[in-house]
Amino acid sequence: MKVALFGHKIEESDSHSVLEFLKALRDFDVEVAFESVFLTHLNNQSCAIEAQTFEAEGGLDQTYDLFVSFGGDGTMLRAVTLVKDLGIPIVGINTGRLGYLSTFNKEEVKKVITEFRSGAYTIEERTLIYLEHAESMGIPIDFALNEITVIRRDTTSMITIETYLDGEYLTSYWADGLIVATPTGSTGYSLSCGGPVLAPLTRSLVLTPIAPHNLNARPLVVSEDTVVKIKVSGREPQHVLSLDSRLALVDTETELLIKKANFKAKMVKFNSESFISTLRNKLLWGEDKRN
């Protein structure tokens, strides 16, 4: 068994979780490789780890059985960009705050490897969305697990977001921006802007306007096979484009085509967890004292 470990500048107080997990892996005679920058960061905290390394860009291959991310949801999103289309299952150990995508808390690191080795898990294939011609806009990573968003820049004025679904005109949102989110991303920025929660394996996308001035504009759920075309106009010559918080500036009037990516992210779902329990534990559903 071969496992890749990745993280992003975790707190020194959390580094013991990595050491405990590493010990558990070695107790099971698992081959371990650290992302090189992550290992340097840990050793700068006096962890004194000796291990194989891989580079963030092009350092992984299909010989890995599991990719483990230490951090919060942002680190998990970064992990997906490292794995790309290799099909390596990903699991997160939360050392951040909410950690909605990160399955286990840092106190449960041993449980990750024991449940994985025992086969007490399934693989959930999560939909990714893809931005066509991203490279021509200076965007090196053209897919997102959570959402692709356009938002105003350097102005308090609204932007106009002309929106088409499968080539048919839908509407022009007057708003601060528009979010195109996957089911995974429905519990992120989209939820904060009033979008619905979608179950992770729902074959849908959700379009959520950000602070719309059209009071009849509401979030819209569409099939994941829908091609979404948007074009922004406004007072400023550029607006901000975000793919899972990776930012770029795009000229107004640029047509953006967003569609389902041709591969999916494989997320490890352990039998001891469920989507419903995650809603209760992470989003505090059912915590109303009247229940």
The answer for residues whose C-beta is within 8 angstroms of residue 184's C-beta and 6 or more apart is 101, 126, 127, 145, 146, 200, 265
Strand extents, DSSP E, 8-46: 31-35
Could you tell me if 79 and 5 are in contact, meaning their C-beta atoms sit under 8 angstroms apart? no
Q: How far apart are CA 196 and CA 208, in angstroms?
A: 9
Tokens of residue 111, six digits: 């449980």
- Asked about 73 being catalytic, the answer comes back as yes
The string of DSSP codes covering 93-161 is: EE-SSS-SS--EEGGGHHHHHHHHHHT-EEEEEEEEEEETT-GGGT-S--EESSEEEEE--S-SS-EEE
- State residue 29 phi and psi, 5-degree precision: 60, 45
Question: Which of 267, 265, 246 lies closest to 148, judged by CA?
Answer: 246
* CB of 271 closer than 8 Å to CB of 93: no
Among residues 27, 61, 65, 73, the one annotated as catalytic is 73
CB-based contact 208:194 (threshold 8 Å): yes
Question: Other CB atoms closer than 10 Å to residue 62's CB: what's the count?
Answer: 9
Residues ≥6 apart with Cβ < 8 Å to 8 = 38, 71, 74, 75, 78
Q: Which residues are catalytic?
A: 73
